[in-house]
Amino acid sequence: MANYIVSRMKVGFCLVALVMLSSCADVIDETKGVSNVCPVHQLRMERRKVEIAYGLKRLSDVIEYERAKPTRFPFGETIAPGCCVTPSSGPNFVQLYVCSECVVSVDLWHRQKKADKVSAPTSTAVPPRASEKN
């Protein structure tokens, strides 16, 4: 039931996003009214045009990333996350600020997550008790 609700929420969100995106220009400017100094690293940021990456992403990965983003790498995206459905016409790029230290932090975060998945046990089998070994 919970998976069904989450699935319906994702579909609804994507439909709203598609309607919003279809009425926008080819490049969305997300720098208007935003300071060009990273609040985490206190560095002046580069204004950059980045591609929007559409497609389905694992929800748990997105949630984990979005939880870490505000305090660790708020301006570290060099590819903008788009909706799960690619619009037939719509924006393909976003103008945004990119912080060089946030980019490094995002890369480290992704490497750590990858290493954690590799080192995590793949089996939940319980080892045999000492009395069962013989």
In this structure, what DSSP letter does residue 133 have?
-
41/69 with CB nearer Zn ion: 41
The amino acid that residue 16 corresponds to is V
The amino acid that residue 34 corresponds to is V
Smallest distance, Zn ion to C-beta of residue 83, A: 26
Of these, 59, 81, 85, 101, which contacts Zn ion (CB under 5 A)? 101
Using CB under 5 A, which of the segments 24-32, 48-56, 62-70, 91-99 binds Zn ion? 91-99
Using CB under 5 A, which of the segments 25-33, 62-70, 92-100, 123-131 binds Zn ion? 92-100
Contacts with Zn ion, 20-49, as mask; x by CB under 5 A = ------------------x-xx--------
Size of the site for Zn ion (CB under 5 A): 6
Cα gap 73→76, rounded to integer Å: 5
29/101 with CB nearer Zn ion: 101
Closest CA to 105 of 61, 36, 41: 41
- DSSP letter string, 65-101: HHHHHHHH-TT--SSEE--SS--SSS--EEEEEE-HH
In this structure, what DSSP letter does residue 122 have?
S
Site for Zn ion, rule CB under 5 A: 38, 40-41, 99, 101-102
